[in-house]
Structure 1
Amino acid sequence: MKRVLVLGGTGDGLAIARGLPAGHVYSLAGLGRVPADLACSVRVGGFGGIDGLVRYLRDERIALVVDATHPYAAQMSRHAHAACASAHVPLWAVRRPAWQPQAGDDWRDAPDWRGIVERIGSYRRPLFTLGREPLAHLDEIPASQHWTIRCLDAHPGNARATIVDARGPFDLDGERALFDAAGVDVVISKNSGGRATEAKLAVARERGLAVVMLARPVLPDAHRTFDDAASALDALTHWLHTSEQ
């Protein structure tokens, strides 16, 4: 049997894992919920860098790796690329297309955290949808601002920060309610692509609010690249079927 390792942590990764039978592996970094309804094995935690991943691929006799990590999980994608090259294991990747600005959008690109801070200096009620990164900067919030930070798990805030723990998908009505409750006047987002978290962009467009968009990292090439989980799973199912003949 040729074993597949899916590097997940996204809805795309989970959708692929749900299509895998027993004997294959779905890997999570351990930051989100661990699915309990998969036929394949679930592995939680890091690999110990590139060398550790190479050892894992060889020890577990992995014949194909599917990188379905988040578009901003650049280090894991780079490690996967290097490890697969070293272990001579093919690498496939799901590369979700980035969102594109539409008529009425006011997007301001930012290359990094420093760029984000520079672009939101004139605003009072920013909404951060970057995950955990803003939590490391709670002590740096200007007296003129109150941050709303949405991430997956509950964390304590402070006098100038409200932490909202929520997991997508998010709809328009829910996003409108959040914007109203928090008094949002600017949105800070990763350009993650996909539909699960896109509603915030539509609400910002409705209200004429600026969106500061963190630039996507450059990811390494893969042997095959797919735009979505469905096409990746179709190709993977075909690959598994033909490899068993």
Structure 2
Amino acid sequence: MKRVLVLAGSSEARELIAAISSRFDVVASLAGATRAPLELGCETRVGGFGGVSGLVDYLRDARIDILVDATHPFAAQMTDHGAQAASLAGIAHVVLQREGWVPTAGDNWVFVDRFEEVAQIIPKGCTVFLGTGRQTLGDFANMVNRRLLCRVIDPPQGPFPYDSGRFVVGRPPFSIAEEVAFFQSESVEWLVVKNAGGTRSRSKLDAARQLGLPVVMQRRPALPDVPVVDRVSACVAWLEGQT
């Protein structure tokens, strides 16, 4: 039975693991960013590998045959390290990454490559919902004179890093109605999000369209030159082709 390391962290990773566990010996890896992650139903390791060399050592020591990168679309460093390590270890490698969102009629999106650009777009005095996670807050230091709201899964262990803002605790998914009610109750005027894709967090964009709110959307980082699939079923088929 082939031994597969799944770099997890996405809903697709959980679906993939459930789909292949009976045919492959699966190990999942989580970065450890969430203090109480959902169970994956397989052997799971938590924490970093110590760079490319550490990941290469792990792949060899754990006798991994195939590496599947099913991390978040913005886990660019891990994706890059995975590609390098798989090549150095001489094992098969595939990236499972869902398709990104595209604007439709009624959407008002502005695209950026870096969050530091947002301050040039959103006027001062606005209330801004940062649907980008706690780890990105350092990128918004130039967003002075705006009220910032950042949603996090785990209760914060420290104060909000800027005077004019606060954390909002909640675990997705949220319905469109819930997002509409939240945006209205907080008088949100702008959204800032990453182009994560998928249906799990799409509701905030649907709510923004319903309310006529503008959205700043960060483009995805480029992927390495490796096989890429955008659906769990396609990844299962690719894996079966490696046996």
Task: State whether TM-score is above 0.5.
Answer: yes
Residue 173 of structure 1 aligns to a residue whose secondary structure is helix
Residue 105 of structure 2 aligns to a residue whose secondary structure is coil
Verify the 8 A CA contact 2:30 2:45 in the aligned structure 1.
yes
Mapping for residues 17-56 of structure 1, pairs under 5 Å: 17-19=17-19, 20-21=21-22, 23-32=25-34, 33-36=36-39, 38=41, 40-56=42-58
Shift of 1:141: 4.7
Q: Specify every segment of 5 or more residues in structure 1 that has no aligned partner in the other structure, as ranges.
A: none
Quote the residue 2:167 is aligned against.
Answer: 163
Task: Give the Cα separation in 2 of the matches to 1:221 and 1:45.
Answer: 26
Residue 172 of structure 2 aligns to a residue whose secondary structure is coil
Residue 218 of structure 1 aligns to a residue whose secondary structure is coil
Mapping for residues 112-191 of structure 1, pairs under 5 Å: 112-122=114-124, 124-136=126-138, 141-143=143-145, 145-155=146-156, 156-157=159-160, 159-191=163-195
Q: Specify every segment of 5 or more residues in structure 2 that has no aligned partner in the other structure, as ranges.
A: none
Residue 62 of structure 1 aligns to a residue whose secondary structure is coil
Call closer, same or farther: CA 1:139–1:221 in 2, change over 3 Å: closer
- Percent identity of equivalent pairs: 36
Count of aligned pairs between the two proteins: 237
Shift of 1:125: 0.4
In angstroms, what is the RMSD of aligned CA positions?
2.0
Quote the residue 1:58 is aligned against.
Answer: 60
Call closer, same or farther: CA 1:123–1:207 in 2, change over 3 Å: farther
Verify the 8 A CA contact 1:93 1:222 in the aligned structure 2.
yes
Task: Give the Cα separation in 2 of the matches to 1:206 and 1:147.
Answer: 21
Answer yes or no: is 1:227 the counterpart of 2:221: no
TM-score normalized by the length of structure 1: 0.89
TM-score normalized by the length of structure 2: 0.90
Deviation >4 Å, runs of 4+: 137-141
* Cα deviations by residue, 1:199-240 (Å, 9 ceiling, x for unpaired): 1111111122110011110011323x221223323543x357
Task: Give the Cα separation in 2 of the matches to 1:126 and 1:175.
Answer: 14
Letter in 2 for 1:73: A
